[in-house]
Amino acid sequence: MPFADANGVRLFYQRLGRGRPTIVCVHGLVMDNLSSWWYTVANAAAARAEVVCYDLRGHGLSQRPREGYSVTDSVDDLVGLLDSLGIEGPVHVVGNSYGGVVGLALAVAHPERVEGLILVEAHAAVETLHAKARRQLAEGLDLAGLVLDDGDVNRWLESLGGRKLNRMATSAKDLIYHTTLVGDLRSSPPFTEESLGQVECPVQLVFGEHSDIFDRAEILARLLPNADLHVIDGMDHSVLMGATAQVRSLVLELASSAG
């Protein structure tokens, strides 16, 4: 089983296909792991390019240390993974939700490592939105934790969900209550307008028409110099699972571009 030692953490990854460009897929928070990309896009794209998917620390099969869940930590983990895999050249990062935040933060901190970005429903906090955005992201997680901790809901999950849902719920509770994830995210600084203005690589922004974070789409499209906004009709935040064909099409186009 492929694990990489990245930034001092053991990360599970899948390296599929070969050649150029290299596409790195980053998943969302808590109830997510690399399988959301693996099931939808990664294998198809691997027929044309090299694709790397990995589990963020604390998620999926990766190690779950008690701390180190800030956006900066996530970027350091990703850089550590690329170094560990010997991928030195710039990559395309395809990120969903929080994964989009990681991709964007990588492009800001290490522009030489990023050739392009596809940000699906990126939960990015920007300084002008910061108070509201930070509250939404962190409180969303707190709320999930509170709901999962409620006895009635737990019993309902156990009776209805069986093994799979129980394991997901248990894992999510552990991540929320027994790691520093929520606090680390709450204290992660937002992107500044200046830092976004310096992201020169092409960025595809993909947001659902009815997304609860559509304000991020508008501000990212305005501040990123080389961004295209794709709005998926009738879709909410669950674009990757609800509009898989459109996301896959964008990634396949990228995979065929042979950098």
Partner 1 sequence: MADEGGEAVVLRTVITMIGAVVGEDYLEDLEVGMGTAFDQDLELESIEFVALSEKLMEHYGDRVDFITWLGEMELEEIMNLRVGQLVHHITACLEA
Please confirm whether the linkage preceding 21 is cis (ω < 30° from 0). Answer: yes
User: In angstroms, what is the minimal distance from the CB of 168 to partner 1?
Assistant: 7
| Sites for partner 1 among residues 147-166 (CB under 8 A) | 162-164
User: In angstroms, what is the minimal distance from the CB of 15 to partner 1?
Assistant: 11
| Sites for partner 1 among residues 191-230 (CB under 8 A) | none
Measured distance CA(229)–CA(91) in Å, rounded: 20
Stretch near partner 1 under the rule CB under 8 A, chosen from 27-35, 72-80, 102-110, 119-127? 27-35
Dmax over CA atoms of the chain, in Å, equals 53
Check residue 45 for interaction with partner 1 (CB under 8 A). yes
Site mask, partner 1, residues 228-257, x = CB under 8 A?
Answer: -------------x--x-------------
The pair of three-digit structure tokens given for residue 69, joined into one six-digit string: 């869940």
Check residue 43 for interaction with partner 1 (CB under 8 A). yes
Check residue 168 for interaction with partner 1 (CB under 8 A). yes
User: In angstroms, what is the minimal distance from the CB of 169 to partner 1?
Assistant: 12
User: In angstroms, what is the minimal distance from the CB of 47 to partner 1?
Assistant: 5
- Report the residue from 22, 40, 195, 204 that binds partner 1 according to the rule CB under 8 A: 40
Check residue 17 for interaction with partner 1 (CB under 8 A). yes
- Report the residue from 35, 128, 136, 246 that binds partner 1 according to the rule CB under 8 A: 35
